[in-house]
Structure 1
Amino acid sequence: MRILHYGLGYQPERTGGLVKYATDLMEEQVKQGHEVAYLFPGRINIFNSSTKIKESKMRITGVTSFEIINSLPLAVFGGIKNPEKFQSKVDHSIYSNLLDYFRPDVIHVHSLMGIHKEFFEVCTEKKIKIIYTSHDYFGLSPNPTFYFNGKSWDEENDLNFWLNVSQGALGLKKIKILQIPFYSNIRDIIKKFKKRSFQKEKHFKTMENDDFSINYQESFKELINYYQGIFKLVTFFHFNSNISKKVFERNLVEKNFNYEVLPISNSTISGGKKHIELDMSKVKKITYIGQYAEFKGFTDFVDLAKKFKDRDITFEVYGENIDINLPSNVINKRRFLPLEKKKVFKNTELLIVPSRWKETFGFLGLEALDNNCPILVNENIGMKDLVSEKLIFSNLNIFFKNISSNSYKEELYLTIITFPEHTEQIINIYKKI
């Protein structure tokens, strides 16, 4: 089968679960004998603003790479300041020539960031089936997480939300800087100097529609319709959890669509039968892994540590190489290398995954289970589909108080599929459509 993927690019230029999944999936598909190509938003040419597609160097053995020069802007940090720039038109021939050259049997889209509507229109004209995997909510929302001012807005998604969430969006010039090839080389240096201490995410005053100009409102209305128009051209939705399915069902204008709910995986997952034991009477150390950010539930974890300061329990956080003010019973272990991940899980007595945003899946939880690491997960996290209801909480403080006041024990038996097996499941979806 000839498969063309669209994603955000490669590591280290792009990071996160979406990039990990897309690149791992392509590599495994090549191993299984398929012909694979990857289309992604690449460089911004400051001297020539026209859009073109250029074949770039091979980064994964057997995967042909196509780079979009001057793609649509990437709103990777949430919100859109210049809505008209996110729906710029290009000539259909740009994408038609690519599809005529590679001749894919199926298109697998991992994000709407950076890609033009004309791509989907050309695929539809050529009767090429499009599968979309729900890694984030961009397109349903200008913010990929749907999270703003301390809550998820997936149940209040109107024009006012789009206008307000974009108050803190990056301007077009800053977005273009992030697409400069060497930016990844200086990213950590910039963070080191700009982010020396953790601060709660900035909350913005909620404004009324009339506080924004009529033209600005109309431009956002057009953008909302633009993305809904793209979603209508998707042949099949692959939802990686029941949470992502519910959010999409609630926010897609077109309600009649084909889909399957299928958990995702990655190449680090060994798979097999797992036995996870949680005995709270033995837990003396509780761990958080992830960004030191409110939307990831970091502040909730720290608040939990404050409330249980008198207990004989140590709390530890991993994730970022920054200095932060923490209670005396919380240790900042900073970032660990990928090679150290198994060791971290082995030494973890209880991992809490407290995300506030409705995380479409969450590789961290899956990787913990794969390493037989006990976990508690927020009800907002998609990978909760894999665990017992007894390990899922809605309010961390109340839940933890209940389970720590008695001899709480829980055992979890499950079988995790290997990544090659998951890849076969995806191929079967391609065949189905």
Structure 2
Amino acid sequence: MRILHYGLGYQPERTGGLVKYATDLMEEQVKQGHEVAYLFPGRINIFNSSTKIKESKMRITGVTSFEIINSLPLAVFGGIKNPEKFQSKVDHSIYSNLLDYFRPDVIHVHSLMGIHKEFFEVCTEKKIKIIYTSHDYFGLSPNPTFYFNGKSWDEENDLNFWLNVSQGALGLKKIKILQIPFYSNIRDIIKKFKKSSFQKEKHFKTMENDDFSINYQESFKELINYYQGIFKLVTFFHFNSNISKKVFERNLVEKNFNYEVLPISNSTISGGKKHIELDMSKVKKITYIGQYAEFKGLYDFLSLANSFKESNITFEIFGEDIDIEIPQNVSNKKRFSSDNIDNIFKNIQLLVIPSRWKETFGFLSLEALSHEVPIIVSSSIGSKDMLPDICVFDSKYLISTIMNMVSKNEKIKFAINLKSIEDHSEEIINLYERAIRKL
């Protein structure tokens, strides 16, 4: 099968679960004998603003790379300041020539960031099936997480939300800087200076529609319709969890669409049966891994630690190379390298994943389970589908949940079958074939 993927690019220029999944899946598809190409938003040319597609150097053996020069802007930090720039038109021939050159049987889209509507229109004209995997909510929302001012807005998604969530968005010039190739080399330095002390994310005053100009409101109305128009051209939705399915069902204008729910995997996950055991009477340390951010539930975790300050249980956080204000019984272990991940997981007694945003999946859960580490996860995490109910808590009740488990000396045992990337790749190929037959 000839497969064209669209994603955000490669590590280290782009990071996160989406990038890891897309690149691992492509590598495995090549191993399984498929012809694979990757289209991604690349460099910004400050001297020539015209959009073109250029074949770039091969980063994964056997995967042909196509880079979009001057793609649409990437709202990777959430919110959109210049809505008109996110729906710029390009000539259909830019994408038509690419598809005529590679001739894919199927197209697998991992994000709407950076890609023009014309790409989807050309695919539809050529009757090439488009599979979309729900890694985030960009397009349904200008913020990929749907999280703003302390809550998820997926049930209150109107023009007012789009206007308000974009108050703190980066301007176009700053977004373009993030697409400069060497930005990844200085990203950590910038973040270190930016977050030298512990500060909660800024909450913005909720403004009324009339507080924004009529032209600005109209630009956002057009942008909402622009993305809904793209979603209408998707021929098959691959939801990686029931949470992502429900959010999309609630927010897609077109309610009649084809889909399947299928959990995902990546190359760090060892497949097979895993046996998880938790004995709270033996837990003397509880761990958090993730961004030092509200939407990831860090503040809830620190509140949990504070409530145990008189106990003999200690807490630790991993995630970012920044100094933050923490309770005395919490150690900030900062970032760790992938080379050290086995050692990290070997020493974790209980991992708490307290995410507040409606996380479409959550690879951290699978990575922990792959190492047979006991985990307790927020009900907002998509990968909870794979866990027994006793391992899932409502994010509002993290402290009471853990205190109750400690007081009862809770014991949990369960077995879980995890899919390797090899197994998952075969599932995805079968999904492509079912989608093609069904449509």
TM-score for both structures, normalised by structure 2: 0.98
Shift of 1:405: 1.4
Residue 5 of structure 2 aligns with which residue? 5
Q: Which amino acid aligns with 1:265?
A: S
The CA distance in 2 between the partners of 1:361 and 1:197, in whole Å, is 30
Residue 293 of structure 1 aligns with which residue? 293
Which ranges of structure 2 fall in alignment gaps of 5 or more residues? none
The CA distance in 2 between the partners of 1:35 and 1:306, in whole Å, is 53
Shift of 1:194: 2.3
The CA distance in 2 between the partners of 1:103 and 1:307, in whole Å, is 59
Matches within 5 A, 1:334-413: 334-394=334-394, 395-413=397-415
The CA distance in 2 between the partners of 1:37 and 1:276, in whole Å, is 38
1:333 aligns with 2:324: no
The CA distance in 2 between the partners of 1:343 and 1:7, in whole Å, is 31
Q: C-alpha deviations, 1:90-123, integer Å up to 9, x for none?
A: 0000000000000000000000000000000000
The CA distance in 2 between the partners of 1:306 and 1:294, in whole Å, is 16
Q: 2:306 aligns to what SS in structure 1?
A: helix
Residue 423 of structure 1 aligns with which residue? 425
Moved more, 311-320 or 186-195: 186-195
Q: Which amino acid aligns with 2:431?
A: I
Q: C-alpha deviations, 1:229-256, integer Å up to 9, x for none?
A: 0000001000000000000000000000
The CA distance in 2 between the partners of 1:142 and 1:189, in whole Å, is 27
Shift of 1:85: 0.3
Residue 133 of structure 1 aligns with which residue? 133
The CA distance in 1 between the partners of 2:275 and 2:338, in whole Å, is 23
Q: 1:302 aligns to what SS in structure 2?
A: helix
Residue 324 of structure 2 aligns with which residue? 324
Shift of 1:192: 2.2
Shift of 1:193: 2.2
Residue 106 of structure 1 aligns with which residue? 106
The CA distance in 2 between the partners of 1:194 and 1:168, in whole Å, is 15
The CA distance in 1 between the partners of 2:134 and 2:419, in whole Å, is 20
The CA distance in 2 between the partners of 1:5 and 1:146, in whole Å, is 25
Matches within 5 A, 1:192-341: 192-341=192-341
The CA distance in 1 between the partners of 2:67 and 2:216, in whole Å, is 31
Q: C-alpha deviations, 1:189-213, integer Å up to 9, x for none?
A: 2122222122100000000000001
Q: What is the root-mean-square deviation of aligned Cα atoms in Å?
A: 0.6
Matches within 5 A, 1:71-110: 71-110=71-110
The CA distance in 2 between the partners of 1:195 and 1:49, in whole Å, is 33
Residue 186 of structure 2 aligns with which residue? 186
Q: C-alpha deviations, 1:207-231, integer Å up to 9, x for none?
A: 0000001110010000000000000
The CA distance in 2 between the partners of 1:356 and 1:414, in whole Å, is 25
How many residues align? The count is: 433
Shift of 1:418: 1.4
Identical residues among aligned pairs (%):
82
TM-score for both structures, normalised by structure 1: 0.99
Q: 2:167 aligns to what SS in structure 1?
A: helix
Shift of 1:402: 1.6
Shift of 1:270: 1.0
Moved more, 320-329 or 137-146: 320-329
Shift of 1:343: 1.1
Residue 47 of structure 2 aligns with which residue? 47
Shift of 1:55: 0.3
Shift of 1:29: 0.3
Residue 151 of structure 1 aligns with which residue? 151
Q: C-alpha deviations, 1:273-306, integer Å up to 9, x for none?
A: 1110011111000000001100000000000000
